[in-house]
């Protein structure tokens, strides 16, 4: 069984429990969304997202996502004081999960992004392939 963090074990071995312990708060999911769909890769970009995450929460969630292997960091080649955040393969594998969550919301709740829903419903596999392709193009090592 994989561990959630360096010293934190999941409360149970139930696969749903483990995933909820890793991803079960809104901020982690929104950070992943912003990386996956909006191409965010800097701390400043995350702070400027629609939902306005607090700096202490952002720092905490980015560290947790990195510890869990969902996000990787590297120094910004233009400014060594800054980090660039990228989704790992493990993080990118969440694309179908987040897509299904979006479709569930569209079916049962009010939302404000009909264009995203339209794209997904038109051709879900193509949508997911495009998300993965953008990730592959942006995750190549920086010079």
pLDDT, residue 8, reads 66
pLDDT in tens, the chain (143 residues): 344 444 467 778 899 888 998 888 899 999 999 999 999 999 999 999 999 999 999 999 999 999 999 999 999 999 989 999 999 999 999 999 999 999 999 999 998 999 999 999 999 999 999 999 999 998 765 43
* pTM for the full predicted model: 0.86
Tell me what pLDDT residue 141 has. 52
The candidate with the shortest Cα–Cα distance to 68, out of 131, 24, 107, 117, is 24
């Amino acid at each position: 069984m994989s561990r959630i963090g360096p010293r934190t074990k999941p409360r149970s071995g139930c696969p749903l429990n483990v995933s909820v312990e890793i991803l079960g708060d809104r901020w982690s999911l929104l950070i992943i969304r912003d990386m996956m769909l909006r191409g965010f890769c800097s701390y400043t970009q995350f702070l400027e997202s629609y939902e306005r995450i607090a700096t202490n929460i952002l720092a905490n969630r980015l560290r947790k996502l990195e510890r869990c292997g969902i996000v990787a960091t590297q120094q910004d080649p233009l400014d060594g004081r800054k980090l660039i955040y990228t989704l790992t393969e493990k993080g990118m594998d969440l694309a179908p999960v987040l897509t299904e969550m979006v479709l569930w919301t569209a079916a049962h709740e009010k939302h404000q992004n009909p264009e995203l829903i339209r794209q997904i419903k038109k051709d879900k596999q193509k949508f997911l392939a495009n998300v993965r392709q953008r990730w592959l193009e942006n995750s190549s090592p920086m010079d």
